[in-house]
């Protein structure tokens, strides 16, 4: 667009968002599939990071494999698994956790040897729960007021659906946090926990690692905060203009525009 910016770095690794970048809902985005196939063939390591806590990493792997991207569990970091890891960094095995969220979140918490219970929890974890009730929110607020730590998988307020929008995990998280007057720990983007987990997996240098995403408030902020080269691709949700947010290093219409991608 005639705008001056720095040249692309030498690309040694890629961290990427999924929805709006690799696929839209159930439909793969062809140029993105080809880009990840190129990187795979050239030995450039990549890892996907998703705020969505309602699918397991296994679900994500099968979806990507069905699109022709050769990945294993090592290539996927979810907010659910990252939340479980974060709890285990701060609390011992067997710690009582109250979970508001999808079965995939409960699975990640249980797999980290934490006890899921509504009885005197030390931690309340909240992800998107399409069966949210006032009773679940009451248990959460009461536990937090008695000292439990509040952790949210992601701050997304609104999610696109085939027919419009639905409230995201951040909307119910905000309700509980507001009632209990606490500031939750957020695991997902724009925070950097998942980016750090992804960098640990691929082992590349921050300045030669891309963070690709379709949302400035989450993907790009997380990438910039972690010191990655942040790339906005306009194949997902329409970008939000907000002067208070850090701008992406590059804005592209397709991953084909990234040097070396065929
Ligand atoms: Mg996205």
pLDDT in tens, 251-262: 999 999 999 887
Query: Is 189 labelled as part of a ligand binding site?
Result: yes
Task: Give the domain range for residue 158.
Answer: 80-186
Distance 44 CA to ligand 1 centre (A): 22
Residue 129 among known ligand-binding residues:
no
| pLDDT tens sequence across 181-232 | 999 999 999 999 999 999 999 999 999 999 999 999 999 999 999 999 999 9
**CATH number of the domain bearing residue 107:** 3.40.50.1000
Q: What is the pLDDT of residue 2?
A: 45
**Assigned domain for 138 exists:** yes
Q: According to the model, what pLDDT value does residue 159 have?
A: 86
Instruction: Give 43: exposed, middle or buried? Use CB within 10 Å, 0-12, 13-18, 19+.
Output: exposed
Ligand 1 centroid from CA 99, angstroms? 24
**Average pLDDT, integer, range 60-66:** 97
Number of domains making up the chain = 1
Examine the pLDDT at 1 and tell me if it is beyond 60.
Answer: no
Identify whether 108 is part of a domain. yes
Residues that are catalytic: 17, 19
Collapsing DSSP to helix, strand or coil, 98 comes out as strand
Residue 206 CB neighbour total at 10 angstroms: 15
How much is the pLDDT for 142?
98
Cα(98) to ligand 1 centroid in Å equals 28
Secondary structure element (H or E) that encloses residue 210, with its range? strand 209-213
Asked whether residue 91 is assigned to any structural domain, the reply reads yes
30 marked as part of a ligand binding site: no
pTM of the model: 0.92
pLDDT in tens, 150-173: 999 999 998 888 888 899 999 999
- Residue 197 located in a structural domain: no
Cα 49 to middle of ligand 1, angstroms: 10
Distance 157 CA to ligand 1 centre (A): 13
SS3 state of residue 222: helix
Known binder of ligand: residue 70? no
Kindly state whether residue 16 falls inside one of the protein's structural domains.
no
Instruction: Output the six-digit token pair for 49.
Output: 């990071």
* Per-residue pLDDT tens digits for 101-157: 999 999 999 999 999 999 999 999 999 999 999 999 999 999 999 999 999 999 999
Name the average pLDDT for the chain: 95
103 assigned to some structural domain: yes
Q: What is residue 110's predicted lDDT score, i.e. its pLDDT?
A: 98
């Amino acid at each position: 667009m005639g705008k001056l910016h720095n040249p692309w770095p030498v690309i040694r690794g890629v961290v990427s968002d999924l929805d709006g970048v690799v696929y839209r809902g159930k439909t793969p985005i062809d140029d993105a599939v080809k880009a990840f196939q190129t990187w795979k063939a050239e030995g450039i390591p990549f890892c996907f990071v998703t705020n969505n806590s309602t699918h397991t990493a296994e679900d994500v792997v099968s979806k990507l494999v069905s699109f022709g991207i050769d990945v294993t569990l090592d290539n996927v970091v979810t907010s659910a698994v990252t939340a479980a890891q974060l709890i285990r960094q701060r609390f011992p095995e067997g710690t009582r956790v109250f979970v508001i969220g999808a079965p995939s979140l409960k699975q990640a918490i249980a797999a980290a040897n934490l006890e899921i219970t509504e009885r005197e929890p030390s931690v309340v974890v909240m992800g998107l729960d399409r069966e949210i009730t006032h009773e679940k929110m009451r248990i959460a607020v009461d536990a937090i007021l008695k000292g439990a730590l509040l952790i949210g998988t992601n701050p997304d307020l609104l999610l696109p659906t085939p027919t419009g929008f639905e409230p995201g995990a951040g909307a119910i998280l905000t309700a509980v946090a507001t009632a209990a007057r606490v500031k939750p720990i957020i695991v997902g983007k724009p925070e950097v926990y998942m980016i750090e987990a992804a960098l640990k997996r691929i082992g590349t240098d921050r300045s030669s690692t891309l963070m690709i995403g379709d949302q400035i408030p989450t993907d790009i902020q997380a990438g910039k905060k972690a010191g990655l080269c942040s790339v906005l691709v306009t194949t997902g949700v329409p970008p939000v203009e907000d002067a208070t947010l850090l701008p992406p290093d590059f804005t592209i219409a397709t991953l084909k525009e990234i040097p070396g991608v065929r």
